[in-house]
Amino acid sequence: MYSHPSFRFKDIPGIAMADMALCFALESIGVWSIYSPVNMDSLMVAVYVFVLVFSLTFMKDFKDVAGDINSLPLLLGIPRAAKVCSVLALLPLIPMTYAVTKYLYLAPAAVIYAVLIAGCIKILIENPVAEGNRLKDWMILSLTIPNFAMLIVKMTRFL
């Protein structure tokens, strides 16, 4: 539905990101259900994935503002969109903090995320359009590295 000609959700900024985030969140529940029953932990992972993907994918819009037709920076203006993205980038810390209170060994991933997202926010504050490619790189690091850290920590607990 994201890019299907009948729907074209990718042309509606908020809906596009929510659609993408929902797909990833549902995928996480599907993968979880292969290995164990769906429970509150799996739902928390899905919430985390949804919030993470939804909140960070808006950052990709800054790198190609000139070629966009309909994006958050065009709808809100670059300074206001940068502020909105900065606040959204902090949202994944909510489910992450909950996970850390339940599973203390996940704390390094939360710290890694906080450091990486601080880099994104710095770029958003300074000049997100001129540094659009760098912002996208930091966004991708923020989406992936903390999750790999969680995986590695979890795997080392089994050794």
pLDDT 10s digits, 112-153: 999 999 999 999 999 999 999 999 999 999 999 998 998 898
Q: Tell me the C-alpha distance between 29 and 130, whole Å.
A: 37
Buried b (16+ CB within 10 A) or exposed e, 75-84: eeebeebbeb
Which pTM does this prediction carry? 0.83
Sign of the CA dihedral with 9 first, then 128, 76, and 146 last: positive
Looking at residues 32-60, what average pLDDT do you find? 88
Answer yes or no: is pLDDT of 75 > 60: yes
Q: Tell me the C-alpha distance between 147 and 144, whole Å.
A: 5
pLDDT, greater one: 95 or 4? 95
pLDDT score at 158: 73
Instruction: Count the helix, strand and coil residues of the chain and give each as a percent rounded to the nearest 5.
Output: 80, 0, 20
Q: Tell me the C-alpha distance between 136 and 103, whole Å.
A: 30
For residue 31 the two structure tokens come to 């993968």
CB 150 within 8 A of CB 106: yes
When the pLDDT of each residue in the chain is averaged and rounded to a whole number, the result is 87
Residue 36 falls in which region: left (phi positive, over 0), alpha (psi -120 to 50) or beta: beta
Residue 113, exposed/middle/buried by CB under 10 A (0-12, 13-18, 19+)?
A: buried
User: Which has the closest alpha carbon to 45: 103, 114, 115?
Assistant: 103
